[in-house]
A and B are shown apart, each in its own frame.
Chain A
Amino acid sequence: MRAPQGMKNPTDQTATIDRRQLWALLKCYFRLSTRGRVTQSMSRGGKPRSLYFVLGMYVFVGLMNGLMLLGIEMDVFTYTVLLHSMTFFVVGMAVTAESGDILFNANESDVLVHRPIHPRTLLLAKSLNLIAFTLVLAGALNLFPTFFGLAARGARVWFPLVHVISMTMLCIFCAAAVVCTYGLVIKFLDREKFDNFAAWSQVGMAILFIGGYQVVPRLLQRFAGLTLEPYARYLFPLPPAWFAGIDSLVAGELPVAAGCLWFGIYRGTGLHSDWQAGAELRRGVDQTE
Chain B
Amino acid sequence: MIKIRHLSKEFGQQVAVREIDLDIPAGQLVGLLGPNGAGKSTTLKILTGMLMPTSGTAEVGGFDVVKDPLSVKRIVGYVPETGAVFETLTAWEYLQLVAALYHIPESEATARIERFGQFFDLTTDTLREKQLSAYSKGMRQKVVITAALLHNPDIVFFDEPLNGLDANAALSLKTLITSLAHEGKTIVYCSHILDVVERICERVVIIHEGSIVADGTVEQLMEQTGRQSLEHVFNKLTATENLLARAEEFARVLTR
Complex Cα–Cα for A27 and B100 (A): 11
> Is A111's CB under 8 angstroms from B73's CB?
no
Q: Known: A10-B74, A115-B73. Is A28-B93 also a contact (CB below 8 A)?
A: yes
Q: A28 to B84: give the CA distance in the assembly, Å.
A: 15
Q: Smallest distance from the beta carbon of A7 to chain B beta carbons, Å? A: 5
Closest chain A residue to B66, Cβ basis:
A289
With contact pairs A32-B89, A107-B86 given, residues A289 and B50 touching in the complex (Cβ less than 8 Å): no
Chain B residues whose C-beta falls within 8 Å of the C-beta of A109 in the assembled complex: 50, 84
- Select one of A28, A36, A111, A116 contacting B74, CB under 8 A: A116
| Known A-B contacts A24-B97, A107-B84; A5 and B104 likewise in contact (beta carbons under 8 Å) | yes
Majority secondary structure of chain A interface residues (helix, strand, loop or mixed): loop
- Closest chain B residue to A8, Cβ basis: B103
Q: B226 contacts the other chain (Cβ, under 8 Å)?
A: no
A57-84 to B contact mask, C-beta < 8 Å, 1/0: 0000000000000000000000000000
CB within 8 Å for A10 and B68 given contacts A113-B50, A114-B50, A116-B73: yes
* Known interface pairs A107-B84, A114-B50, A116-B101; A10-B89 also in contact (CB < 8 Å): no
A10 touches B88 (CB 8 A): no
Nearest residue (CB) in A for B71 is: A10
How many angstroms from the CA of A257 to the CA of B103 in the assembled complex?
53
Interface size class of B (residues with CB under 8 A): 35 or more
Q: How many residues of A contact B (CB 8 A)?
A: 34
Residue interface bits B89-123, CB-to-A below 8 A is 1, else 0: 10001001110111111000000000000000000
Binds A, one of B6-14, B75-83, B206-214: B75-83
Asked if A116 and B85 sit within 8 Å, CB to CB, the answer is no
Q: Contact: A1 with B61, CB < 8 Å?
A: yes
Q: A4-B102, A107-B82 are in contact. Are A114 and B49 (CB under 8 A)?
A: yes
CA of A20 to CA of B71, assembled, Å: 17
Contact B88 A32 (CB under 8 A): yes
Residues of the A chain whose Cβ atoms lie less than 8 Å from the Cβ of B142? none
Query: With the chains together, A21 CA to B99 CA distance in Å?
Result: 10
Q: Is the CB of A28 within 8 A of B104?
A: no
Q: Give every chain A residue within 8 A of B98 (Cβ-Cβ).
A: 115
Are A31 and B85 closer than 8 Å at their CB atoms? no
| A238 at interface by CB-CB < 8 Å | no
| A-chain residues with CB within 8 Å of residue B154 when the two chains form the complex | 1-2
Q: Is B62 positioned at the interface, with any CB of A under 8 Å from its CB?
A: yes
**Known contacts A27-B97, A28-B97, A110-B84: does B89 contact A116 (CB below 8 Å)?**
no
B78's nearest neighbour on chain A, judged by CB, is A114
Q: How far is the CA of A35 from the CA of B130 in the complex (A)?
A: 13
- Residues from chain A with a CB closer than 8 A to the CB of B70 are 10, 116, 118
Complexed CA–CA distance, A35 and B71 (Å): 33
Query: How long is the Cα–Cα vector from A93 to B246 in the complex, in angstroms?
Result: 55
Task: Report A's interface with B, CB cutoff 8 A.
Answer: 1-8, 10, 20-21, 23-25, 27-28, 31-32, 35-36, 105, 107, 109-118, 288-289
Between A and B, 20 residue pairs with Cβ closer than 8 Å are A1-B75, A3-B75, A4-B103, A4-B151, A6-B103, A7-B74, A10-B63, A10-B71, A21-B100, A21-B101, A25-B97, A32-B88, A114-B50, A114-B73, A115-B102, A116-B71, A116-B74, A116-B102, A117-B73, A288-B50
